[in-house]
Structure 1
Amino acid sequence: MTRWITCRIGDLCTLRRGASPRPINNFISTEGVPWVKIADATESKTRFIEKTKEFIKEEGAKNSVAVTPGTLILSNSATPGLPKIMKINACVHDGWLVFDDFNGITRDFLYYLFLNERERLVQGANGSVFNNLKTDIVKNFIVRIPESIAIQNRIVSILSSIDDKIELNLKINETLEEMAMTLYKHWFVDFGPFQDGEFVESELGMIPKGWRVISCYDLANYINGKAFKTNQLVDNDGLPVIKIAELKSGITNSTKFYNGDIEPKYLLQNGDILFAWSASLGVFIWAKGKAVLNQHIFNVKPNGTLSKSMIYFTLKNIIQEFIEIAASRATTMGHITKEHLIDKKIALPPDELLVKVDEKMSNYYQMILSNMLEVERLTQIRDYLLPRLLSGEIDVSKAEKQVEEVL
C-alpha cells in the first residue's frame, strides 16, 4: 500500500526568483545568452524550453539568474503556474521561479505535480487569482505526494512515456512541414522543375509559360468567425469558442464556451484550415474536435481552385508577408484586410501539373493531420491519468498496463 504524505513545497526543495538587469532594454540583443520569457513557455507545446526568441548580452547575464539544462522553472506572473524544464543554458527574469536541491521528491514528479495543481496554486484562499505568484505562496503551498521515490518514478514513467510520444509526433510534424514547404517553394517560388522551359512576362515577373496569376483572395473562401458578445459565453457548457489563444495554447481552463444555436458556417471540424488575420497572425490546421470559431480568424474553405492541402501550404508560404503588413499598420491591434488578400498574387500551373504536385502535398498534409489527431488522443489520455495518479485514485500498476496498450 502506497503511503502518501502531506508537505510544503518549501520543505521539498529550494526555490529562488529570477532577476533582470536594469534597464532591460539596454541588454536585449540578437545574440548572447538565451533570455527566457513567458511567451517562450506558452508557445512551447512540450515539457521543455529548447529555444528563446530573445537574448541578453553577457554583461546583462551577470545581473540575472542562470539556469542550465535540466533545471525546473515555474512562471510566477503573466501566465502564472506554468512549469517547464530547461533544455538549454539560459537566464531567467523575475517572472520565473527556479527549483533546486530536491529532497523527498524528484524534479520530474514536481513538474507533473505543478501541472496537476496549477489551478489550485494560482487561486487565493478567497478564490481570487494571483496576478503574481509570490515566492512565499509557492513555498507554503501544501501538496500530497507518495513517500516512496520508487512510486514517484513509476508515476513519472507513465506520464512521461505519453509525453515522449506526443513530443515525437510534434517533431515529426515539424520535419514533414519543412519537407512540404521545400517542395512547395521548389515548384511555386523557384519554378525549379520548369527552368528549362519557356518563361513569359507577368505582373509577378517572369513565370513559366502556361501558368496564370491569381489573387490570394480568389484561391479559397474566407469565412470569418462569429462576433460573440461577452454575455453569450459561458464556462464548460456547449462547444469551445476558438480565439487566437486557443490556436496557440489549445483548449484550457480559460477557454469560453457557447451553448446556443449556431450557424453551420461557424462550426469547426478536424482538418479545417484557420487563418488568424488580426493581432497575432498565423495559419493553423485544426485538430481538436468540434468547436465554434470566434471573429478575427478565417476558416479557409476550398472554392474549387485549390485543394485544402495546397491552400494550407500556400498560406504558410506567404504568411510572413501578411505579418509584416499587419505590424506596419498596427495601432492597438495590427491586422490585414480583404484588400491585402486581393493585392497578394501568386502563380498557378495548368490543372494537370497542379494535380501532380497536389498528390505529394496532400500526402504531407494528411500525415501532419494524422499525427496531430494522435497528439490529441494521447493528450486526453495523459490528462485523464494525471489527476488520478497524483491523487492515488488509480493504481499505478493498472495505469502502467493501460498506457502500455495505447502506446
Structure 2
Amino acid sequence: MNLDLSQKNFLSYEFELPELSSQSAVVQLLGDLDDKVVGNRGLVASLDTLRKQIWARVSRVDAESTLSSHAQFVNGGAYTKDATGKGRVVVRIAELNNGIGSSTVYNDLDVPDKQVARAGDLLMSWSGSLTAVRWYRDDAIVNQHIFKVIPNGGTHVWAVACAIETKLDQFREIAAGKATTMGHIKRADLDAPVAWPEISDRLNDAGKALWERALAAEKENQILAATRDELLPLLMSGKITVKDAEKSVEGVL
C-alpha cells in the first residue's frame, strides 16, 4: 500500500500510542541504562588516570629500561583481504579509535594465537594515530599496523601499558617526521630508554586491580548497550511490557 506522506495528509493520519505513563516508564528505563553507560565511562577514565598517576609517581628517570625488554610486540596481518563478512572482527586502527561500526570487517580466518585479541589484551597502533588501547570486546583478529603487546613472564599488562603511554607523544613526533602518507615508528624505536620502576607486590596488586576494574566496566557497557538496543524496538512495538523489560535488566542495573 502506498501512503501519501504530504504534509496535509500526514497530519490527518491517526496513530495508536501507548499511554503517557507507559511512555514515561520506557524513557525512564532506557535512560537508566544510558546513565549507567555514562557512569561507567567516567569510572574507566578515572581508573586509568589514577593508574597513570601512580606510575608517574613511582617511576625514576635513573631507572631506565626498554619497552622491547618487557614485552613482545607482535604485528598483525593483512586480514581484510577477501574478508568473508562472517566470523570475528578484524581490528584495524579505525576499530581502535572508534569501536565497531558499519565499516568494520569480519573474517572467519584461522590466525596464529598471537594475532588474536582477547578482552584485557593491549593493542598498539604503530602507524597513523599511534594509540595504545585495552581491548575489551569479543575475540578479534589483529590487522596489520597494529601490535598485540604481550608482556614477558612476570610482567603484568598494566605496567607495560603505563610505560607505553609515557612514550606515545614521542612516538607521534617520530611518526609525524616521516615523509610518507601515514607516519609510523620502527621496531628500533621500541628499544629507546623508558622509565621503569621497581615493581613491588603491593604496587603490582594496585595496578592490576585498577586495570581489571576498568576492563570490567568496559565489558559491562557492552552488555548495557546491547540490552538497550534490543529492548527499544520491543518496547516501542508493544511486544514486551515495561515490567518485562525491567525484569530483564535486573542483573545489569
Higher relative contact order (CA 8 A, sep 6+): 2
Deviations 1:352-405 (A, max 9, x none): x44442222112111111111211221221222133233433333321332244
Determine which structure has the larger strand proportion and give its number. Answer: 1
Partner of 2:232: 386
The aligned runs of 1:3-402 (5 Å cut-off) are 146=17, 148-188=19-59, 191=60, 207=62, 211=63, 213-231=64-82, 233-235=83-85, 237-304=86-153, 306-329=155-178, 331-342=180-191, 344-350=192-198, 353-402=199-248
Contact 1:348 1:354 in 2 (8 A): no
Percent sequence identity over aligned pairs? 32
Task: State the shift of 1:322 in Å.
Answer: 1.2
- Partner letter of residue 285 of structure 1? R
Structure 1 Cα separation of the partners of residues 171 and 122 of structure 2: 16
| Bigger Rg, structure 1 or 2 | 1
Partner Cα separation in structure 2 for residue 391 and residue 241 of structure 1: 34
Q: Which secondary structure state, in structure 2, belongs to the residue aligned with residue 390 of structure 1? A: helix
User: When you count helix as a share of all residues, which structure comes out higher?
Assistant: 2
* CA offset digits 1:171-192 (Å, max 9, x no partner): 011111111111111111xx4x
When the two structures are aligned, how many residues end up with a matched partner?
Answer: 245
Q: Report the AA paired with residue 362 of structure 1.
A: K
8 Å contact kept, 2:163–2:195: no
**Per-residue CA distance 1:187-235 (angstroms, 9 max, x = gap):** 11xx4xxxxxxxxxxxx6xx2xxx4x3222222000111112532x132
Distance of 1:168 and 1:394 partners within structure 2: 27
Once the two structures are superposed, residues 292-325 of structure 1 have per-residue CA deviations (whole angstroms, 9 ceiling, x without a partner) of 1111111100113632110111112221221222
> Given the superposition, is the C-alpha separation of residues 177 and 229 from structure 1 closer, same or farther in structure 2, using an over 3 Å criterion?
closer
- The CA deviation string for residues 77-120 of structure 1, in whole angstroms up to 9 with x for no partner, is xxxxxxxxxxxxxxxxxxxxxxxxxxxxxxxxxxxxxxxxxxxx
Give the equivalent residue in structure 2 for 1:19: none
SS of 2:245's partner is: helix
Distance (whole Å) between structure 1 residues aligned to residue 92 and residue 250 of structure 2: 35
Partners of 1:158 and 1:403 within 8 A in 2: no
Partner of 1:110 in structure 2? none
Structure 1: unaligned runs, 5 residues or longer:
1-5, 12-143, 192-203
Q: 1:328 to 1:165 in 2, by over 3 A?
A: same
User: For the Cα contact (< 8 Å) 2:90–2:106, is it kept in 1?
Assistant: yes
Q: Which 5+ residue runs of structure 2 have no aligned equivalent?
A: 9-14
Partner of 2:249, secondary structure, is helix
